Amino acid sequence: MKESWRWYGDLDRITLPEVAQTGASGIVTALHEIPYGEVWERSVIAERNQRIKGAGFDWVMVESLPVHENIKRGEGDLERLYANYRQSMANLAAEGVKTICYNFMPLIDWTRTDLTAPVARGGACLRFDAPRMAAFEIHMLDRKAALDDYPEAVIEQAGAWYKASTEQDRADLLHAIMSGLPGAYDRYDVEGLKTALKTYEGIDRAEIRANFKRFLEAIVPTAEELGMRLCVHPDDPPRDILGLPRVVSSEEDIAWVMDAVEARSNGLTLCAGSLGAGIHNDIPHIAERFSDRIHFAHLRNVRHDPDQSGSFEEADHLGGGTDMVALISVLLGEEARRREEGREDAEIPFRPDHGHDLLSDRERGAHPGYALIGRMKGLAELRGVIAGLSWRAAKA
């Protein structure tokens, strides 16, 4: 498995020479400065690629080439957006970058309510607290339909939290929820988010799926022609958020995506943490079922609150609810099968996802979830599992 590291380019507080000390050999990055829907010019891609190679890495994965909101809503000049996406793909392929991770989450990306939840023995982690999310939706956004989205106990806790909260508490909650948006883009304030949500009014799950299928039909043939791999990232968390339908949240959803356009290039980013946030998901089983279409893996773990309210937080990479040893065993088995077939994509890139803030991480101020020391710890743990399983397989 190819050890990789997510790097935000000039927006990152972590430098490539520092990443080199983690032992990772692949870089996962994107041109976050380019507005959604615009073409990634080959010259800009080449400059980024040369910079990565000059530091001793391979650019193994684009994360992400964003899907414009109009594509998700199915409105506007879709043919221009599809054409721009295809041209960006061609420009990436011309520079030897042939795998793209993307998502189809409406409006916002991963969602957390706390960026610095305390960890038992020190440090901090990302957390999704269902009562606080409910408080945000019901009381701050005044989205009354959210009353149907949460259990009564969570709604009561949400009301109590909001009543006791200060203006700063509410500002911190908004900041945390908006922090999942990538790159340098402006975050919404409450009124701005209300306005943005209105653009999705009347769009249900079936329509999002139809728009997703239209996108795949427009893009996957080009990926096939270019020898590229597309790998959809699951929803995080795997549930509807803010009343927005999410359609990559379960094994059934992934099967629908894979079947929407039957091609190996229409693949999956196996994100153990995103899928693991749903107690209904069996991650090693999902990996086994879709192993032939996994082009990238995000390896992390989450711990669910025992009250089953839907709250969870980032655990140690080898802790939490997902059997990481079993999952990695599936991925190594798939690599072995691909090598027997002589496939050029036999090695599956992975990255340690969402590390804890440990030691001096907090002082650095890196992107939430993307601390240096916390991710390096996770990478070391995952490396040990891979080494152990590989040794056992070699001895068998």
Residues annotated as part of the active site: 233, 271, 298, 353-354, 370
Kindly give the residue spans of alpha helices, DSSP state H, lying in 95-204.
130-135, 152-164, 167-178, 190-198
Which two tokens mark 99?
A: 């795998």
Q: How far is CA 386 from CA 81, 324, 333, 336, in A?
A: 40, 10, 11, 13
> Helix, strand, coil % (nearest 5) of the chain?
45, 15, 40
How many other C-beta atoms lie within 10 A of the C-beta of residue 286? Answer: 23
Q: In sequence order, what are the residues at sequence separation of 6 or more whose Cβ sits closer than 8 angstroms to the Cβ of residue 85? A: 65, 67, 218, 219
- Distance, CA of 53 to CA of 365 (rounded, Å): 26
DSSP letter string, 252-309: HHHHHHHHHS--TTEEEEEEHHHHHTSTT--HHHHHHHTGGGEEEEEE--EEE-TT-S
- Distance, CA of 279 to CA of 285 (rounded, Å): 13
Q: Tell me which residue of 75, 64, 131 sits closest to 102, measured CA to CA.
A: 64
Q: In sequence order, what are the residues at sequence separation of 6 or more whose Cβ sits closer than 8 angstroms to the Cβ of residue 143? A: 137, 197, 242, 243
Q: State the sign of the Cα–Cα–Cα–Cα dihedral 371, 8, 84, 229.
A: negative
Q: In sequence order, what are the residues at sequence separation of 6 or more whose Cβ sits closer than 8 angstroms to the Cβ of residue 82? A: 71, 215, 218, 219
Cβ(107)–Cβ(196) below 8 Å: yes
